[in-house]
Amino acid sequence: MDHFTYRDGTMYAEDVSIPEIAKSVGTPFYLYSSAALLHHFKLFDAALASMDHQVFYAMKAASNQAILTLLADAGAGMDVVSGGEYARARRAGVPGELIVFSGVGKTRAEMEIALGGGIRQFNVESEPEMQVLSEVAIKMGQVAPVTIRINPNVDAKTHSKISTGKKEDKFGIPILRAREVFAMAADLPGLKVVGIDVHIGSQLTELEPYGLAYEMVAELTKVLRADGHEISRLDLGGGLGISYKNSDDTPPTPEEYAALVREKVGHLGCQIEIEPGRFIVGNAGILVSEVIYVKSGEDRNFLIVDGAMNDLIRPAMYGAHHEIVPVQQPLDHTNYENYDVVGPVCESGDTFAKGRALPSMLAGDLVAFRSAGAYGAVMASEYNSRPLIPEVMVRGDQFSVIRERPSLDEMINRDILPKWH
């Protein structure tokens, strides 16, 4: 179901016209549909309904508190990867027992924040981390629930920068050493082993790698139980891909994914924990930008828009494809032209798309970058001293600014001249 559709030639987000929002907020901005967010969350939750499960939204994908509260109210927990994300989740009203803490480099300070505020589990990724967590927990007079993330050495068949389950990746402990490391964890005071964690990568468009990894998890569950460990939770990570192109990619559905989970690990009597990020928010958000200039190069046409690589880094960083569509649909007789869609940042990498066919554009026209909800706003920077752009959410016929555009002064005033100046 698409929540960004055309009515009489104008693109709407749910029941709000996008030019109306642009007029009020200015461009560029991120725009989320609350109905789409809820729809995606519910799809996932419903697909897993026949199993004891909990969805933990991977908030690294988009962490605005308006998104977090919306999902938390619908029953989502949060997967956090930093003290900052933990604090945001708590501020958004998520209770500690619905927060899992992932990541290879948790610091003592972050562990203290989470243990102090309450946490469902730490997904631990190495022996030194285990050691430190044990020390922190003892010092605080607490017992830290832990799962241990294993690295199953499977190829997730995704972009190398977002693959995490191969032996050359920095994540998890090699599955071959799992028994040894679980034994060590069980011996450490202040820790309580509660399960196994695995996450093999992001934007997976095939089920097979999941199948391989989850089979290994099932096997390991039996082995570890025989060793005397309580394995009551399986955190199966996130990573289910979404469609970025209108035409070709058709990733598995949550139903297909859930059927695989049921088949591979459903019989073990564990609680199933899932950490989807992109699936929930990716296609629930767009980036709206205005054409500044249409420039004719020697043999190319450039569409210079006011959004740039600092606002949406995915094309520059991963060669990612985002559909770029006009907010105002062309009249029937409009010519199409091939444009290189670029931002104003001073490097050639600030290119969103090359030779993209779009109706003839004029300065002032609006374009929408589709599928920009996940890893869009959260990966933005102020490169070229461009302030972070606002985020807006729609619900039905209402829209609300959920993060304001900082003024130039707000951005610049954070600099402090050295005291010897």
Residues annotated catalytic, as ranges: 346
- Judged by beta carbon, residue 21 or residue 377, the one nearer ligand LLP is 377
Q: Is 311 in the site for ligand LLP (CB under 6 A)?
A: no
Nearer to ligand LLP by Cβ, of 375 and 399: the residue is 375
Name which of residues 95 to 114 contact ligand LLP (CB under 6 A).
102
Q: Which CB, 203 or 283, lies closer to ligand LLP?
A: 203
Q: Report the relative pairing of strands 301-305 and 285-296 from DSSP bridges.
A: antiparallel
> Which residue stretch of 107-115, 199-207, 302-310, 407-415 sits at the interface with ligand LLP (rule: CB under 6 A)?
199-207
| Residue 58 touching ligand LLP (CB under 6 A) | yes
Stretch that binds ligand LLP, among 197-205, 224-232, 296-304, 359-367 (CB under 6 A): 197-205
Minimum distance between the CB of residue 111 and ligand LLP, rounded to whole angstroms? Answer: 17
Degrees, nearest 5: CA angle 6-378-198: 105
Q: Residue 203, interface with ligand LLP (CB under 6 A)?
A: yes
Q: CB of residue 49 vs ligand LLP: minimum separation in angstroms?
A: 19
Nearer to ligand LLP, 304 or 316 (CB): 316
Residues 357-376 touching ligand LLP, rule: CB under 6 A, are 374-375
- How many chain residues bind ligand LLP (CB under 6 A)? 21
- Using CB under 6 A, pick the residue from 35, 43, 63, 79 that binds ligand LLP: 79
> C-beta of 41: minimal distance to ligand LLP in Å?
12
Q: In the window 133-162, what residues touch ligand LLP (CB under 6 A)?
A: 162
Q: How far is the CB of 264 from ligand LLP (least distance, A)?
A: 18
Secondary structure (H, E, C), the chain: CCCEEEECCEEEECCEEHHHHHHHHCCCEEEEEHHHHHHHHHHHHHHCCCCCEEEEEEHHHCCCHHHHHHHHHCCCEEEECCHHHHHHHHHCCCCHHHEEECCCCCCHHHHHHHHHHCCCEEEECCHHHHHHHHHHHHHCCCCEEEEEEEECCCCCCCCHHHECCCCCCCCCEEHHHHHHHHHHHHHCCCEEEEEEECCCECCECCCHHHHHHHHHHHHHHHHHHHCCCCCCEEECCCCECCCCCCCCCCCCCHHHHHHHHHHHHHHHCCEEEECCCHHHHHHHEEEEEEEEEEEECCCCEEEEECCCCCCCCHHHHHCCCCCEEECECCCCCCCEEEEEEECCCCCCCCEEEEEEEEECCCCCCEEEECCCCCCCHHHCCCHHHCCCCCEEEEECCEEEEEECCCCHHHHHCCCCCCCCC
Q: How far is the CB of 297 from ligand LLP (least distance, A)?
A: 29
9: left (phi over 0), alpha (psi -120 to 50) or beta: left
Among 3, 199, 264, 370, binds ligand LLP (CB under 6 A): 199
**Sole binder of ligand LLP in the list 83, 165, 239, 285 (CB under 6 A):** 239
**215: which strand partners?**
none
Report, in Å, the least distance between residue 295 CB and ligand LLP: 28
- Of the candidates 237, 266, 307, 387, which one interacts with ligand LLP according to CB under 6 A? 237
Instruction: Indicate the residue among 14 and 147 with the shorter CB distance to ligand LLP.
Output: 147
Measured from the CB of residue 59, what is the shortest distance to ligand LLP in angstroms? 9
CA–CA gap between residue 358 and residue 367 (Å, rounded): 10
Q: Does 207 bind ligand LLP (CB under 6 A)?
A: no
What are the φ/ψ torsions at residue 319 (nearest 5 degrees)?
A: 65, 30
Interface residue with ligand LLP, options 238, 254, 266, 387 (CB under 6 A): 238
Closest distance to ligand LLP from the beta carbon of 339 (Å): 23
Question: Quick one: which segment of 7-15, 187-195, 198-206, 243-251 binds ligand LLP (CB under 6 A)?
Answer: 198-206
Query: Are 203 and 237 within 8 A, CB to CB?
Result: no
Residue with smaller CB distance to ligand LLP, 80 or 191: 80
Contact positions with ligand LLP (CB under 6 A) in 250-279:
275-279
Whether residue 72 contacts residue 94, with contact meaning beta carbons closer than 8 Å, is answered with yes
Contacts to ligand LLP by CB under 6 A: 58, 61, 79, 102, 162, 199, 202-203, 237-240, 275-279, 314, 318, 374-375
